[in-house]
A and B are shown apart, each in its own frame.
Chain A
Amino acid sequence: MKRIYLDYAATTPVHPDVAAEMQPYFSEKFGNPSSIHSFGQEAKAAVERAREQVAGLIAAQPEEIVFTSGGTEANNFAVQGIALANEDRGNHIIVSKIEHHAVLEPARFLENHGFKVTFLPVDNDGLVHPEDVQKAITDKTILVSIMHANNEIGTIEPIEEISKITKEKGVYFHTDAVQTVGSIPVDVNKLGVDLLSTSAHKLYGPKGVGALYIRKGTRLEPFIRGGGQERHRRASTENVAGIVGFGKACELAKNELQSRIDHLIPLRDKLIKGIKDNIQDVVLNGHPSIRLPKNVDITVKYVEGESMLLNLDIEGIAVSTGSACSSGALEPSHVLMATGISPELAHGSIRFTLGRLTTDEDIDRVLEVYPKIVEKLRKMSPLVKK
C-alpha cells in the first residue's frame, strides 16, 4: 500500500538537495565555528552563508538572523527576551488566543512572574481584528505577538495592518511565522515586524534548527546564556549541519515559492470541494480564502476526529487532528474553541496539510477512501442525530 502523507504542517521530508548539502558537515567539515583554525573557519563560513540564505528568503539582513534550536525556542526567545529587556518601559504583553503553545506558554509564564497578558479573541474565521489590537495597547504595552498564519486552521492574519498600529504606538511586534516561511511570501519589511520566528523542518529542512529574525535596534535579552555565539544573543555551539540544511532549504524555497503555491492551491481546493460534495454536514474551519495554500481543516459533525485519523492511518493516509504536539492528549483544540465552535464539534475536526510531493492521485485516493470512513463511523456513532 502506498502511504500518503498529508501532514506537512507537522513536518516535511528533508529535500534531497538539502540532505546532500548537509552531508559534509557531519564528519568531514566538522569544525567548531568558534575555533580559530581552518576547521573552524570552514564551519563558520558555512554558517554565515546559511545566514544569508535564510535572510534572503524573508528580505532581512543576515546579521538580523539568530539561529535557534527551532520555532519553539525562537518564540520563547522573542517573548521572554523582549519582556525582560523592556521591563523598565512596561509590563504588558498582547497575544492572540490562537497562538501556538510555544507563544502561549511563555506568555503564561510571564503572567505568573508579574507581567500582564491580554489574550486577544479572533472571529469565526480565526482572524485577529487590528482594531482589537489598537484597543488593547496601553502605555504599559511592550510587545504584541500575533502569528502570521495559524498552524491548525490555516488562517493568515493581517500582520501588515497590525504592524502599522504597533509602529505608531512604539510597541515591539513579533510574529510566529513557522507556518508561512517557505509557504507564502514573507518579507519582514512589508510585514513591518520587529521579530519573526521560523523553523527549518516546516520547509523541507532538518528538525532541530530554526531562527529568530531580530530587527536591528531591537532590545532583547538572550534566552540561552553561555559562550559568545550568535553575537552574544544565543549561546551554544552552532548546529552546523542543521544550519547549513536550513540555509539550503530557504534558498530552494525562495526559488520555488511561486511554483509550490501554484501546485498546492488547486489540490487544496479540489480536496475541499471533494469533501464538501461527498460528505454531508462538514464545515471548513478557518477563513475560506485568506488561508495557507497547504491547509484543509474541517469539522465533520457526529464523528470524532480521533476515529477518522486512525481509520485513515490504517488506510495509509497520514493526517492530524489539531496540532501534532497535542495528539495523544486530545483536548478540544484551543484554536477551534477560540473561533467559537462547541467542544463537541471541535472533537470532530481533522486537518489535511499538503506539500510539494502531494499529487493529484493522492487527493483522488483520499476522496475515494475518506467519505466511506465517515459514513462507516457515522453508522456506529452514538452522536448521529437520527
Chain B
Amino acid sequence: MKRITSTKIVVAMSGGVDSSVAAALLKEQGHDVIGITMQIWPSKKAFGGCCSLEAVDDAKAVAARLGIPHYVLNFRNVFKDKVINDFIEEYKNGRTPNPCIRCNQFIKFDHLAQKARELGAESVATGHYARIVNSKLLKGRDKKKDQSYVLYMMDQESLAHTLYPLGDLTKTEVRKLAKDLDLPVAEKAESQEICFVEEDDYGRFLKETYPEAVQPGQIVDKAGNVVGQHDGIAFFTLGQRKGIGHHKGQPKYVIRLDRENNAVVIGDKEDTLGKELIAEQVSYISGTVPKGPLAVMAKIRYNSSEVEAVLEPELCRARVTFEEAQQSITPGQSVVFYKGEEVIGGGIIS
C-alpha cells in the first residue's frame, strides 16, 4: 500500500491501541504524520478514557516511538459547549443521548479538522473501524468491531478529508500489529466508557456535576398510580428493570420517561415494544435525500443488531417502520440506516 506522494495527516491519538496503530500505519506508508490528543475535559476529572492525563502520556509515548510530532490541544470549551451541555440537556428531557456521536460530529470532524487545516494537513485520521470507498462510508471489515454507527453524520466534505486506516483490519490484526511494532500500548485494555464519566456511572456524573439535572420524583404505572419513588429520571433508560422495585412478582420495565411530571412510567415487557419511530436531524452520507419508501437495515443503538425496516424520508425527519416490533426504541439514541455494507445515513430518535 505504498503511496507515491506523501501527504500531511493529522491523527487523533487517544493513547489507545487503535489510534496508535492508525498513526503507525500512516507513518509506515510514508506520510507526514502529526499526532494530536484532544484535551476535552479537565484532566483531574477524566477517568481512563480518551482524555485523561494518562491517555495523553500514552499518546506521547507512542508518538515518541514512531518519531512523529505530537501535540495536546485544548478543546475543553467546545467540548463542554457541544457535547457535555447536550448530554445534560438530553437527560434532563428524559432522553438517552449518545455523546460519542456528537463528539465525532462537532469535535473530530469539525473542530479538529479546522485545527488540521491550520497545520496544513489535508486529512484527519482516526482509529475507527470503518471504511471510506468511492465517497461512500462502509462498515469496518471486522464486523464485531464495526464503528460506522457513530459516524453516520459524516458528509461528503468530511469523507473527503478523513482516513480510517484500520477499516480493512480486524481487532486481532490491529493488536498483533501493535505488538509487532512494539508500541508501548499494545497490551492496553479496551475502553468503552463515556470518556468524561467515571466508572460509567453517568447518574453520579449528573448528580455531582449538575445536581439540578436530577430531581426526585414518582414511579407510576400506565394508569398513573404511584407505585414508588425515584431519584431522578436521568437515572433511567427505556427498557430498564433495575431500580424500579418489585411488583407482585411480575417483572416491570421502564416504558416512558415523563419529563413534564418528572415521572418514570413502568409497564410490562410488551409495553416496551414499538413498531416505528420518527428520527430527527436526519442526514445522509450522499448529501441527497433518497426517495422513499426504501427498504433498509436499521440499527437503533450502538450494540444492537441491524433489523429490517422501511425508511420514509420527510423534510429533515424520517419515519422508520420495522418489520418486527423492537424493544425499547430510545429517544436520544441514533438510528442508522444501512444498505449492505454501506451507511446511508441516520438521525436521532425523537
Contacts and interface: CB of A to CB of B under 8 A. Distances in A.
Contacts of B120: 311, 314
A328 B118 contact: no
A192 B117 CA distance: 52
Interface string B183-200: 000000000000000000
B119 A314 contact: yes
A380 B114 contact: yes
A306 B73 contact: yes
A307 B69 contact: no
A310 interface: yes
B118 A307 contact: yes
Given A313-B69, A314-B69, A330 B74 contact: yes
A377 B114 CA distance: 10
Interface in A306-330: 306-307, 310-311, 313-314, 327-330
B42 to A, nearest CB: 8
B119 A311 contact: yes
A330 B72 CA distance: 9
B43 A329 contact: yes
Nearest to B114: A380
B69 A306 contact: no
B164 to A, nearest CB: 24
B74 A380 contact: no
Nearest to A308: B118
Interface residues of B, number: 15
Nearest to A307: B118
- What's the interface size class on A, roughly? 10 to 19
Contacts of A314: 34, 69, 119-120
Contact of A329 (B34, B39, B71, B118): B39
Contact of A380 (B69, B71, B118): B118
Contacts of B118: 307, 310-311, 376-377, 380
Interface string A373-386: 00011001000000
Interface string B31-63: 000100001000100000000000010000000
B111 to A, nearest CB: 11
Interface in A271-311: 306-307, 310-311
B115 interface: yes
A328 B115 contact: no
Interface class of chain A by DSSP: helix
A2 B74 CA distance: 28
Contacts, number: 32
A329 B119 contact: no
Contacts of B72: 327-329
A55 B221 CA distance: 81
A276 to B, nearest CB: 23
Most buried by B among A306, A328, A377: A328
Given A313-B69, A314-B69, A314-B120, A329 B74 contact: yes
Interface string B80-118: 000000000000000000000000000000000011011
A114 B248 CA distance: 57
B181 to A, nearest CB: 24
Contacts of A380: 114, 117-118
A306 B119 contact: no
B156 to A, nearest CB: 20
A307 B74 contact: no
A328 B69 contact: no
A134 to B, nearest CB: 38
B286 to A, nearest CB: 27
A310 B71 contact: yes
Nearest to A373: B118
Nearest to B60: A328
A306 B74 contact: yes
Contacts of A330: 74
Given A313-B69, A380-B114, A328 B119 contact: no
A331 B56 CA distance: 17
Nearest to B39: A329
Interface in B107-151: 114-115, 117-120
A332 to B, nearest CB: 10
A307 B115 contact: yes
Most buried by A among B39, B43, B69, B119: B119
Contacts of A331: 74
A210 B56 CA distance: 29
Nearest to A381: B118
A280 B117 CA distance: 22
Contacts of B69: 313-314
A61 B291 CA distance: 88
A310 B10 CA distance: 12
Contacts of B114: 380
Contact of B39 (A307, A311, A328, A377): A328
Given A328-B72, A330-B74, 7 more contacts: A306-B74, A307-B118, A311-B120, A313-B69, A328-B39, A329-B72, A377-B118
Interface of B: 34, 39, 43, 56, 69, 71-74, 114-115, 117-120
Report, nearest first, the 7 A-B pairs whose CB atoms are least far apart: A330-B74, A328-B72, A307-B118, A310-B71, A380-B118, A310-B119, A377-B118
17 contacts: A306-B73, A306-B74, A307-B119, A310-B119, A313-B69, A313-B71, A314-B69, A314-B119, A314-B120, A327-B72, A328-B72, A329-B43, A329-B72, A329-B74, A330-B74, A377-B118, A380-B114
